Each structure stands twice: as structure tokens, then as C-alpha cells.
Structure 1
Amino acid sequence: MSHSVLIVMDPIESIKTQKDTTFGLMLEAQRRGWTLHYCQPQDLYLEKDQVFAANQRVSVEDNPQNWFQYQDAEQVLTECGDFSAILMRKDPPFDMNYIYSTYLLELAQQQGALVVNDPASLRDCNEKLFTAWFPEHTPSTLVSANAARLKAFAAEHQDIILKPLDGMGGASIFRAKKGDPNLSVIIETLTSHGKNLAMAQQFIPEITDGDKRVLVVNGEVIPYTLARIPREGETRGNLAAGGSGVPMPITDNEKRIAEAIAPELMRRGLLFVGLDIIGSFVTEINVTSPTCMRELENEYQINIAGQLFSALEDQLKQ
């Protein structure tokens, strides 16, 4: 039986194919004979009670100079319920337009589309805040807009990380040590002078060994991780912030943590998730468009994308 998949993503012409997880998922879908359809979030629309996508069929090739071709000269309109599956792979920021897209995809889901990840869970599971559902696996954390509380947390822990709740790629992440003269302005900046919530976490010294990306696919923990190691003089391991990615086998402790979290991910319909683990702590749970798949596949000759599409095909048989 032939299948079709709608990929909702950022502009396909701007991706870096060698490390783009969404592109790797498209390659796997095509290899399996799925028809690929592409659109951006603004191409979704609701008319009366039906959700449509203005989309184009595409083909892909693992060629960094010429990685996609449109099969339709112009966008065509398709009811979202007619696709076998829809992959929501739009990168953050997680703004109101993103939320509106999840409402449309949730309605499409009710009309028969298999949407990954589950749209309601994309809204519910903020990538920073969702760690609070697993306090036994997280560092000491405070979420607040109150400067006095944040300063008290800094005084208690002496060395902390402060970050916004809606960022990605290491953007606007600050480290503040005891007596940091910039603490007040950091707090003012992140909270917009007490209007916005921000997160403070105890600094984890094991960041020097890497911020490990652990992928969980259909509830199964991938046995390899990508350690994002900060460059010299930097706190952040994010690749977008200049960190270097080093593939390595998962540790027993990392596997134990991921396996403890996996059942809740499955309960919420989160089939493709990236956990960020530093030392013995989960610092983020990435559900919108987790990355690092291609690096692990290339290093260890494994097929992570295949695990996801096998799970989708099994669901479609039911």
C-alpha cells in the first residue's frame, strides 16, 4: 500500500542537508516509497471545519548541491486528512503562530491524519518546562519572573545557568557565578523587567564532557548519543553556539534516565524526542524538531529514521 507524508517545516531551500534531521526523515520516507509533500506552517489553513495544506510534491537526493526537486509546478490544495501522516518539523521559536498551527493539526488529527509529534503535546510540553515532570532527573531549578527570587537562587547555588523558556540553539543562555556584577541586567533582560518567566538551573560542571543528545524514537532509546562539547571559553555545548558534536555510545546512566522518561513520552504521543542530558541530569526535552539523527546514523551505520517510519507504518495498519 502506498503512503503519503506531509512535511511541515522551515524553507527546504535553506537547510543544511548533511546534518538536517528532517531531510534524513524525508530520505527514508522516499526510500520506502512514500510520496513526499512539503509545506511551511503558513501554508496550512482552515475553511469551515476542514484543514487544508497548500503543498507541493517533492523528491529528495542526498546531494548537498541539489537536494530537492519540486514535482508540482505550483502548490496544490490537499485536505490534511488525506495524507497518511503529517510530520510537524518547524524549528522554534515557539510563538503564537506555532500554537495556531498545532490547533489546525489537532483538528486534522481528529479528521484522520496521523500527526507526529502529537499537536496537543507540542503545545503542552515546553522544551524547558517539561523537565519539571521528572524532578528526580533534573538539576535544582527555579522558574520565575521575580528578580528577588532569581537572585536568591543564585546566592544559594553560587553558579547558575539562566535562560528563556522559548529559545533554541543556545540563544540567550547566561552563566552567572557568585558575585557576578551582571546578574541584575541578565535577569532584567530575560524577564523583561519582571514581565516574563525565565528559568534558572544549578550549573552542572559535567558540561565539559558534553551536553548529550539522547534520541527516543517510538519509546525506544537509541543506544548512541551526540555529545555537544563547548569550545574553549564557552559554557554552551549547542552546535549552533560553536560546540563540536562527538558521537559516542550511550552510558548506562543516560540510558536509565531516558528509559524512565520514555513511557510518559509515549503516553503523550511524542514519538520522536531528543533529551538533553548533562552529567546525571536532564536539562531539556526537545519535542518540536529534535536534531542530531544524521550524525549518529552516519557514524554508526544505523537507521534511526527507519525506526520512526516502521512505527508509523505499523500504526497505519491498525
Structure 2
Amino acid sequence: MTDLAWPWPAGAATGIGSLPGTDIAEAQRVVLGELPALPHLPELPARGPGADLIGRTGGLLVELPVELYAARWRIALRPGRDLRRARDLMERDLDQLTVQAEEYAGPVKVQAAGPLTLAAGLERPLGGRMLRDPGAVRDLTGSLAEGLRGHVADLRRRLPHAQVLLQLDEPSLPAVLAGRVPTESGLGVYRSVEESTARDLLRTVVEAVGVPVVVHCCAADVPLELIRSAGAVAVALDLDLVTKLDPLGEAIDAGLGLLAGAAPALPTPGGPAPTSARVADRVRQLWDRLGFPRTRLARQVVVTPACGLAGATPEHVRAVLAACRDAGRRLAEE
């Protein structure tokens, strides 16, 4: 493998995105305090509709307004209050990040749903998920690409000294590829999307935004080669769900960065709090099993929680983020 420069410093740690609570100012303080090498824009789904993954990303779409109908997000005929709420929440979050990180000069990460997960979670105006109509999925992807390009440009204006990374959350990607997304009745499933089509959709977004892109998938059977060939700089995984080492080793050897989900997103009842030593060992053991030299580990790998932390207590959040941060430092010092 040729030498590559990954868009984060050696020994970095970051969060996946979501945190508990409804106070964005406090959430941003926690992230900037605990993850100084690679902070992210927190997501607070406890605030309700518009703060969830699909609604939050839907608010970024261009010329495709969204609305809530029967507790599900769908494409609307015209903009309404649901869309305004989603956009207002995002604007409030960006304002808070601007206030607290105005002079920040390192990498910063923002998150949004990827095109396949968005197509699997968003409904058409007349019913049925967008996934049902390949033409609608292409239009949705184009709208998402344009919206995320504007979102990234806005963040760059707000934080002129920072380097922006975009994380595309694709938890539904394996199910979309395998034809496992259920229809509304629950009696059937949507037709599978071919890997080449999914790769092209992902690549459309990756190429549009003009910044490094990480694809996060907290599911089994993550299509690593698809993600790498779509142009992503890294993949974010839950290490507990990695069962096949060869595909991961091949992707890493080809230069794909790894956001290694090595710390528990939820506390173990009656168990100890995560420690940096234990988290570092998880990452180190995987790296050794893959057979790569330790000298590459701290540059190519970012330490993260296993998944989002929306269901955790504030105390666990601080313990997990601190453990990830210090684990990254341990790996960088070896």
C-alpha cells in the first residue's frame, strides 16, 4: 500500500453522532471537551421529530420537502411546519457549534443519512418507500448530494479554520442490498438494489460534497469494497459485528481508514465503566489479527464508541468518550 494521509491526526477519537438529552449547548461542550482531536456535531434525537436521522437529513434535501404522516416521514407536496422544525433544529445546532468552536483549527465531523438508508426510510407522497421506485431514488440522491454540498459549505463558512469531514450513516445498506427491507404491510420486502447501483448512488454524494466522507454502518455484513470503491475515505464499524476478517483486511490494505467502534454504547448492568486500556486492547487485538504493523495503527484508525450514545446516561457518555480519547492516545504513544 502506498503512503496515504488520512484526514485526522494520529491517535484521534470521535463519537458516532447521537447523544442523550435535549440541551445542544451542553452536548457540544461535552464533545469539544472530551474529543479535542476530532469533535463532531452532536445529534439529540430525544428532541423529537426533526432531530431523528431521517427527519434531520430530510431537512437538508433540495426541492424535495418532507413532512410527518402517521409518525413516518414522507415527501410532501409543499414545505410545511415539520420541515421548518427540522431546519430550525439544525440551524440551532450549527449556531451553537459556531459559538463554541469558532477558532477551532482541526478536523470536525458532521453526520447525515446516506442515500440508501434515506430511500429505505422515507416514503413517497402516495405511499410506499422511495426504495420502491429506482427513478425516485436517483432523484432523492441528487437532492441529497446538493443539500449536503450546501450544508458542508455553510459549515466551512462558520468554522473557517476547521477541516470538515462528512459521515454518511447507512445502517440499512446491507438490508437494501439483500432485499430485506419490509414493505409497509410487513408481508413482503422490497426488491434488492444491485451493488453497482448502490455504489453509484453513494459515489454521487461523495463526489458532490468536496470533503472526505466516512460511511458508518452499525450492522453485520457491511459491504466494505462497495464503500471503498464509492470513494469513501473510511468506514465506521461496531467491532462486535465484525465476523469476517479477510474483507476488512483487504479494505484496510487498500487504504480505507477505520473508525473502530470499540467502546460499549450502553453500560453493562452491574459492570465496570469502560477504561482506555480495555478499549485500546480491543483495537490492538483486531489490528494484530489482521496482520498489519503497529506503526500504521494510530494513523489509519480512529477510536469510537460502538454506535450512537442516545440511549446512554450522561455519566456513561462522558466515561465512554474519555475512554476512547485516552485509548487513541495510548495507541499513538506505542
Q: Which has the higher helix share?
A: 2
TM-score normalized by the length of structure 2: 0.29
TM-score normalized by the length of structure 1: 0.30
